[in-house]
Copies of this chain bind each other. A is one copy, B any other.
Amino acid sequence: MSDAKLYLFPVPLSADTVQRVLPAYNTEILREIKYFIVENVRSARRFLKQCDKGIEIDSLTFFTLNEQTKREELPEMVKPLDEGKSMGVISEAGCPAIADPGADVVAIAQRKGIEVVPLVGPSSILMSLMGSGFNGQSFAFNGYLPIEKGARGVKLKELERRILRERQTQIFIETPYRNNKLIAELCATLPGNMLLCVASDITGERQTIKTRKLSAWAKAKYDYDKIPTIFLLFSE
């Protein structure tokens, strides 16, 4: 088996927070790697410079992996691993392979028997769960809710059922410009004694994590328009 490893590098969620949210060790590893699979080359270069101004960006090779990437392109992308060279995966924000295309590359590395090494960094999902006060022994992240009204209603009913029967915290996200509308919708469709936690701008300057009953959210003033936000539901 090759000694090459696939390292997964988390990226800050907010500007200028590298020192706040990443262990120094990540940068030590970063310095040794010459081949990167990145969601966006420009922001990956900026991230590398933030970690260490001394990194020689021009000596590095970048492969772009995003929603446009075809599955057939992936084997070519991981060739350095086949040749015994370690690679790094860098996503746009947060942890690679969590709600992001990195998982496909990890799956290929796993099939090849290559060692995969995830590194520590900020996850808005996990940090919002920590801050919510909700059940951390059983929880589910659901990504985006369905957009189509019928399917959305069915999904919300199913989440409610899992909260009540299984005591499973339910986590989801929304396109940021629809955040306020989503809160109003939850207030209108779910029982008023259900708890909603709204975790917004995690690790950013405007970070807030607020848990209230839906009956209280219905009367509260708030504005999460266009701010990256995570929603969590639970019941006492």
Contacts and interface: CB of A to CB of B under 8 A. Distances in A.
Interface stretch (A17-25, A47-55, A184-192): A17-25
27 contacts: A8-B131, A19-B24, A20-B23, A20-B25, A95-B126, A95-B136, A96-B130, A97-B129, A97-B130, A97-B131, A97-B136, A98-B136, A99-B136, A102-B136, A106-B130, A106-B132, A107-B133, A110-B132, A110-B210, A111-B211, A117-B207, A118-B126, A120-B127, A138-B140, A138-B143, A139-B141, A140-B168
A229 to B, nearest CB: 15
For A111, A121, A203, the residue with the greatest tally of chain B CB atoms inside 10 Å of its CB is: A121
B100 A136 contact: yes
Interface in A112-131: 115-118, 120-123, 125-131
Contacts of A107: 133-134, 211
A30 interface: no
Interface of A: 8, 19-25, 95-100, 102-104, 106-111, 115-118, 120-123, 125-143, 168, 197, 203, 207-211
A146 to B, nearest CB: 12
Q: What's the dominant secondary structure at chain A's contact region?
A: mixed
Nearest to A135: B103
B103 A134 contact: yes
A183 B208 CA distance: 41
B137 A140 contact: no
For A19, A23, A121, A210, the residue with the greatest tally of chain B CB atoms inside 10 Å of its CB is: A23
Given A20-B23, A99-B137, 14 more contacts: A8-B131, A19-B24, A20-B25, A20-B120, A95-B136, A99-B136, A100-B136, A106-B133, A107-B211, A117-B131, A120-B122, A125-B126, A137-B143, A138-B142
Contacts of A108: 133
Nearest to A133: B107
A97 to B, nearest CB: 5
B21 A98 contact: no
Contact of A126 (B98, B133, B142, B168): B98
